Structure 1
Amino acid sequence: MPKRLMNTGSIASLSCICSIHSRWIVALLGISVLPSTLRAEGFIEDSHGNLTLRNYYLDRDYKDGGAKSAAREWAQGFILGMESGFTQGVVGFGLDVRGLLGVKLDSAPDRSGTELLPVSASDKRAADEYSRLAPTAKLRFAQSTVKSGDVSIFLPFAFASPSRLLPQTFRGTTLSSKDIDGLTLNTGYIDRINKRDSTDYQAMSIATPNRRFNGAATTSHLAYVGGDYQVNKELSLRAYHAEVAELYQQDTLALLHNLPLGDGVFTSDLRSFFSREDGAAKAGEVDNRNLSALFGYRLGGHRVSLGYMHSSGDTATPYISGTELMGMSELTMASDFLNAKERTWQAIYDYDFVASGVPGLKGRLRYVRGDNIELAAFNAEDRKEREFQMELGYVIQSGPLKNVGLLARKAIYRNDFPSGTAFRDENQTRFQVLYTLPIW
């Protein structure tokens, strides 16, 4: 990690990490003094913990002549994860605790707003640091696990965003079951979200880039049910239903298939989202069908993929603000490509350098283009956007820096949207250094 971290990290920041660690120890000690009938050797013996260090630089260089010419910040994240085992018996109990700390390394009011750090609404200054402690109670019976408290969900309709300094989480209760061979069932009730640049839980709302919906409307909860079924080694199916109370409902269907072909593998990824308003429809009308197909061929270290996504209906594709929708446009950097009526094409080239004798090194080139875009709030039709991405990542394989990950991403994004829209012409650069250190 850069030496500057040690110079800028305050005593309070280090104290926070120590405090989080000490609270976990207290929790374990509390369990250890319970009567032996309530304790289980697995609770302690099967526990483990790790500390993830994430150094993140993000630079958005705007090219549209707007008043703000850049958003540029650098920060250091600490993610302390502690997971217990389960007590013995038909029903096993456990406790997980996650401590999160973000420290500002470089920012300024005229270029804040990358979402690496919380920003004051009054003076646009990024916080020097932010942190939170997130406990999760859990229980296990047979092949089912229930978690309650601070939870992460990585599902098609609400994928906890991993794209900033600290992870985005939820408050609620989830159930995941694998009691049926090949089938993973998931259901949950979520009532609050903790966004990636926030320290507290808040009511969930609908994402509103380009003023698609009423972003001031909030929901009391998200409820969902569905699952993934592994038909065989090559084919898997996915189906989910989600209700964001008083805002919208969304059904998800997907098919993933691998077909050995020649010396390589032909892959098919078909996804669909069907969305409509729910209850009082406080966010406004929701009417959207999002269908996508991505086909690829993998041969040695090479993989070439071509895809198409079509959005129909009267509105854009909805998703919860602060999360990501796992459609074909996932992991784009400058836009979500989920506008009303949008038709999107993409081409991807991936290369794993292990095929050339360099394990740990991977690269990607990606081009995404959307057209036929309707921006109702701006009275604009038949608009276009495009994004070109370059990515190079390397995980050091040996030596004192073994398992340190380096990731560089670059995006060039352009559109012909009216002034004032959410997505601006920009050249975006991201650098990350990641390292996970096992504690025990």
Structure 2
Amino acid sequence: MPNLARDALKARPVSSLVPLLACLGLSLGSPVSWAEGFIDDSHGTLTLRNYYMDRDYKDDGAKTAAREWAQGVFMNVESGFTPGTVGFGLDVRGLLGIKLDSSPDRSGTELLPVSSSDKRAADEYSRLGVTGKLRFAQTTVKTGDVSIFLPFAFASPSRLLPQTFRGTTLSSKDFDGLVLNTGYIDRIARRDSTDYQPMSIASPNRRFNGAATSSHMAYVGGDYQVNKDLSLRAYHAEVADLYQQNTLALLHNLPLGDGVLTTDLRSFFSDEDGAAKAGKVDNRNVSALVGYRLGGHRVSLGYMHASGDTATPYVSGTELMGLSEMTMSSDFLNAKERTWQAIHDYDFAAVGVPGLRSRLRYVRGDHIELAALNAEDRKEREFQMELGYVVQSGPLKNVGLLARKSIYRNDFPGTAAFRDENQTRFLVTYSVPIW
């Protein structure tokens, strides 16, 4: 990994870790005492991800395809915690992406960083993240390179390398049934980047001023497990001088007949924040997804309704955990959009093939307003197919295979960000403990 050390210095100055390491040194005591937790409870994992992505455009645009193939290597090492009332630890994450196939006329899948001058993808790119951590009781604080998987900013897993952030997070389980989360984030490491960058607002179809950046994002909230079948979620997030967002959600399971009825209600209420450098933000996004699980089958129907004057905002490079999460060709978060979806999931363990799963999904949005493109009452639709298998035994145990296909069409103007396309993705993943 030739660039890891260099990128570590760019991503996290050594001086910023001095206070943490000083505290760590004071807490260690004798090597025998701190080895009981810091070293003895440490573990490491090596993950390999081979990723092929093909966007075959079906409109009249100048670019006919974005098609690339790459290999990702992740090494994640996590220490335990030193003994005592307050325990200290250190995590290190090394990420490497290697180009296997690309060309200037079909780059831009976001699997690899691309030169703005000649559109050539880099042969390789890498990043090293260092995270200091401390634990007291059931509360854990992390600072440095951190991951966030929360409703308003879900670190996108949909490209070659995982996305991370720079900042400090706190997660507490000190109260029965309640997980409290709060944090302060000042930079984002995008999926196809080697360094940290200021955060901006996602702006496909020129919804907002996507060039405006924020100094930080601060958030607070939690998840409460009322009982084994009911959980509630509430968060408040502020992306300084861009927007603020409140999130409320309810998830419920109800045994019904021989199966289980599932209900997933989510809502996001968004307005501009501070200097409003991204422009006006005025959006309410509410959704409901109701499903029934029986045997290996799960059938779900959902509806999402956006109101207000603008699209639903989220941090560029992340995903919003709304009804349309994990769609492949569009985010279905345009202003005024009404979205319906139907999903059929099947777990083949029900017929004696554990590890094999499939999904069929149809999403349709209408009543769309694209103010910057002078377009109203537009429509979009996406049909997805997925088939995944994780090898259960033998020398290839834990090797994961995933094939995803989408067919996406819209009636947007030709300058829109989302284009008619047939998209295909193939992934092969393998994780192995290195100690």
TM-score category of the 2 structures, normalised to the smaller one? over 0.9
The Cα shift of 1:180 comes to: 0.1
**Which residue, out of 82, 86, 111, partners 1:87?**
82
The Cα shift of 1:65 comes to: 1.6
**Which residue, out of 70, 95, 99, partners 2:65?**
70
Confirm or deny that 1:36 pairs with 2:30.
Answer: yes
Which whole-Å CA distance do the structure 2 matches of 1:283 and 1:134 have between them? 29
**Which residue, out of 132, 142, 167, partners 2:162?**
167
What does 1:331-346 correspond to in 2, within 5 Å? Answer: 331-346=326-341
Which whole-Å CA distance do the structure 2 matches of 1:16 and 1:41 have between them? 33
Secondary structure of the residue aligned to 1:39 is helix
Secondary structure of the residue aligned to 2:39 is helix
Matched residue, 1:8: none
**Which residue, out of 361, 368, 377, partners 1:373?**
368
One-letter code aligned to 1:142: A
**Which residue, out of 402, 409, 429, partners 2:404?**
409
Secondary structure of the residue aligned to 1:326 is coil
Matched residue, 1:153: 148
Which whole-Å CA distance do the structure 1 matches of 2:202 and 2:5 have between them? 36
- Structure 1 consecutive aligned stretches of length 4 or more whose deviation exceeds 4 Å: 15-20
What does 1:214-225 correspond to in 2, within 5 Å? Answer: 214-225=209-220
- TM-score, normalization: structure 1? 0.93
Q: Structure 1: 5+ residue runs without aligned partners?
A: 1-12, 21-27
**What value does the CA root-mean-square deviation take over the aligned residues?**
1.8
Which whole-Å CA distance do the structure 2 matches of 1:71 and 1:207 have between them? 20
Secondary structure of the residue aligned to 1:403 is coil
Matched residue, 1:262: 257
Listed one character per residue, the Cα deviations across residues 356-390 of structure 1 (whole Å, up to 9, x for unaligned) are 11110000000000000000001100000000000
Which whole-Å CA distance do the structure 2 matches of 1:128 and 1:87 have between them? 40
Aligned residues: percent identity?
A: 83
Confirm or deny that 1:206 pairs with 2:201.
Answer: yes
Secondary structure of the residue aligned to 2:353 is coil
Secondary structure of the residue aligned to 2:227 is coil
The Cα shift of 1:256 comes to: 0.1
Matched residue, 2:117: 122
Matched residue, 2:102: 107
Secondary structure of the residue aligned to 1:210 is helix
Q: Structure 2: 5+ residue runs without aligned partners?
A: 8-20
The Cα shift of 1:167 comes to: 0.4
- TM-score, normalization: structure 2? 0.94
Which whole-Å CA distance do the structure 2 matches of 1:203 and 1:210 have between them? 21
Listed one character per residue, the Cα deviations across residues 76-116 of structure 1 (whole Å, up to 9, x for unaligned) are 00000000000000000000000000000000000000000
Number of residue pairs matched? 419
**Contact (CA 8 Å) 1:40, 1:86: kept in 2 or not?**
no
**Contact (CA 8 Å) 1:361, 1:392: kept in 2 or not?**
yes
Which whole-Å CA distance do the structure 2 matches of 1:321 and 1:123 have between them? 24
**Contact (CA 8 Å) 1:230, 1:237: kept in 2 or not?**
yes
**Contact (CA 8 Å) 1:412, 1:426: kept in 2 or not?**
yes
The Cα shift of 1:39 comes to: 2.9
The Cα shift of 1:210 comes to: 0.3
One-letter code aligned to 2:297: H
**Which residue, out of 181, 202, 212, partners 2:176?**
181
Which whole-Å CA distance do the structure 2 matches of 1:95 and 1:112 have between them? 37
Listed one character per residue, the Cα deviations across residues 260-294 of structure 1 (whole Å, up to 9, x for unaligned) are 00000000000000000001100000000000000
Which whole-Å CA distance do the structure 1 matches of 2:253 and 2:296 have between them? 16
